[in-house]
Amino acid sequence: MTDRKQLATIVKDLRIGLSLATILPLGPSTPVGDGDIARAGWTLPVAGLLVGLLSAAVYAIASAVGVTPAPAAMLALASTIIITGALHEDGLADTADGLGGGTRARRLEIMRDSRIGSFGVCALIVSLGLRWSALAAIAAPRAVLIALLLAHVAARAGLPLFMALVPPARTDGLSAGAGRPAGPNAAIALGLGAIVLAIGFGPGKAILAVILLAFLGLLIAWLAIRQVGGQTGDILGAYEQVAETAILLMAASLFHAAS
């Protein structure tokens, strides 16, 4: 009975994680209760694996029918935006707009505004441009597959730890309502990300990637606490986008140099 209960919990966690990270109708059949989202945080790298696979499939199909690397890379990016509902892109844009505001209350108000401002537009242009150019530079479908898997898994692997260590900036909202993941759940997510990085980059380069992601996480956490008093769902999205971009650029540098 205990094993069945544990299996049911794992399945529910996976469905929660996939429904949060994608637009796929995979949510659990039972209502999500207090603490369920925090407990399911370990599944975010798994959701990233699915997103990366689907994006790589789009790139491979485009390449197979004769589409050149640049437009194929844009199609791959478009597929990730569609399957995630632009969740993280929205977070990046709102964060960029909000951190440019005045008081803490005003920054949080701007981040909740559905309208996009100049900083948000510029942040999206830079993010999409860097990711697109990285994929186009990698070019080879197999290398693009590896790069996308590494980026989408690793970028989400640090989110539970970020949520656990950085207090929510609000008492309401998605991030506050999700709760703070327990240490073991955050450790599982980090472990999944580290394993994927070690397989894709090799142990030595994986360590460099982990150091890079840790530095970016600390920088964003410092900015979040300094500017708005903690993290929000938008700031989590911004962290994912920055981490995803960093891994794709690292992959472009390594894989392009090896080709």
Distance CA 111, CA 119 (A): 12
Buried b (16+ CB within 10 A) or exposed e, 164-185: bebebbbeebbbbebbbbbeeb
* Residue where the block lists tokens 């399911």: 40
Residues forming beta bridges with residue 231, ordered by sequence position: 168
Contact 217, 158 (CB under 8 A): yes
Q: Which residues contact 106 (CB under 8 A, 6 or more apart)?
A: none
At residue 241's C-alpha, the angle toward residues 237 and 246, to 5°, is 150
Distance CA 105, CA 242 (A): 24
Percent of the chain with pLDDT over 70: 92
| Residues making up the chain, counted from first to last | 259
34 pLDDT more than 70: no
Which tens digits make up the pLDDT trace of 239-255? 999 999 999 999 999 98
Structure-block tokens of residue 96: 């960029």
Question: Exposed, middle or buried, 205 (CB in 10 Å: 0-12/13-18/19+)?
Answer: middle
For residue 14, name the pLDDT band (cuts at 50, 70, 90): confident
Distance CA 256, CA 143 (A): 9
CA 77 from chain center: how many Å? Answer: 13
Contact 104, 227 (CB under 8 A): yes
**Helical pair 203-228 and 141-157, crossing angle rounded to 10 deg:** 50
- The pLDDT of 100-113, averaged and rounded, is 80
For residue 258, name the pLDDT band (cuts at 50, 70, 90): low
Question: What's the confidence (pLDDT) of residue 100?
Answer: 73
**Nearest CA-CA partner of 239 in 181, 162, 140:** 162
Structure-block tokens of residue 163: 């949520």
Which tens digits make up the pLDDT trace of 47-85? 999 999 999 999 999 999 999 999 999 999 999 999 999
More confident residue, 165 or 30: 165
Determine phi and psi for 103, rounding to 5 degrees: -75, 170
